[in-house]
Amino acid sequence: MRHAERVTFGGSAFDRAGELRGDIPALAAALQAADTRTVLLWRGKPLVTGSADAPDLVRLPLTHPLLAECRAAPILMGREDGAVRFAHDISAWAPEGQDLSQLGGFTDASEQVHPACDRGHRFAELRRLMTTLAPRDAELAASAKAIFGWHAGHGFCARCGVASDVALAGWQRICPACGAHHFPRTDPVVIMLILRGNSVLLGRSPGWPKGMYSCLAGFVEPGETIEAAVRREVFEESGIKVGAVEYLASQPWPFPASLMIGCRGEAQSEAITIDPTEIEEARWVTREELAVAFAGQHPDIQPARKGAIAHFLLRNWLADTLD
């Protein structure tokens, strides 16, 4: 496995068992098998156990009383060590006496405990857990969050507006009126390590924590190649022209449904002219400055948050381990 595949949410070699999705007898047998387990989510938060520094994703037996809260059929996730894994969602449950205004945000430190939870089990924000979960747990939790998020926002046919039906064990929706088939959506996003000599181009968006800088990024537009998207986004946000572009690594990012495509680009100009509607600031940062920032000692630069592909790209650029 390439080092670049060890980014957060990737690299666990999980067997997605696509051939089972339309096999009704096999799915029925899996739902009755003693070694079948399911992961459980509540409003995007996975059920975990263990300490805050070393949490484990919980895999429940299908007989667990918590699953009585589910209002929809489970989604087939795949196989793990030969045993089938599903995902269930209990988002309809409403905890009593909790402020839920921060749910889903970067700052959400709240944890929810259902009355039927086993001791030590709780729902926690995935962005807070992502760097401490084992690779398999992180990939499984991210995949479950993404697919449930897609169902939550795509319950109606985009062609005719009629409520669609879930098919293929949760990996497709079919419109009963016009017959349209709808598949889970992933939005491609380019994120760029733009280099000029010994420096890298970093920017920050309004509302980010004070001093936080990251690689520039943006959505790929229809009819556009990855390379063209890199050049366009960098020029639009910073006024920097980019020449050669090279793919480095990718990361599924289920917040809510992106695939981050990490690229390296060679800057052909140096003067920065930002678009204030896109970013708040951009600057060239030398390798030495970035090393100080990663050590937590830079007076006004904090690197991208750990777990994000930007952090992965920058740290590996410093270590010369990108390839």
Shared domain check, 8 and 142: yes
Residues 124, 37 share a domain: yes
| pLDDT exceeds cutoff 90 at 107 | no
Range of the domain at 219: 187-319
For the CA atoms of 217, 219, 222, 228, what is the dihedral angle to 10 degrees? 0
Buried b (16+ CB within 10 A) or exposed e, 224-235: beebebbbbbbe
Per residue in 130-148, pLDDT (tens digit) is: 999 999 999 999 999 999 9
163 and 204: one domain? Answer: no
Same domain? For 98 and 137 the reply is: yes
Instruction: Assess whether pLDDT exceeds 60 at residue 1.
Output: no
* Rounded Cα–Cα distance for residues 211 and 209 (Å): 6
Question: 260 and 133, same structural domain?
Answer: no
Shared domain check, 243 and 221: yes
CATH code of the domain in which 105 resides: 3.90.79
Q: Which of 190, 41, 45, 42 is nearest to 105 (CA)?
A: 45
Overall number of domains in the chain: 3
Residues 159 and 149 in one domain: no
Clarify whether residues 174 and 239 are in a common domain: no
**What six digits make up the tokens of 107?**
């700052």
Q: What is the pLDDT of residue 106?
A: 67
Domain match, 136 and 213 both: no
Same domain flag for 67 and 143: yes
The tens digit of pLDDT for each residue in 13-55 reads 999 999 999 999 999 999 999 999 999 999 999 999 999 899 9
Which pLDDT score is estimated for 5? 74
Q: Based on the fold, state whether residues 176 and 261 are members of the same structural domain.
A: no
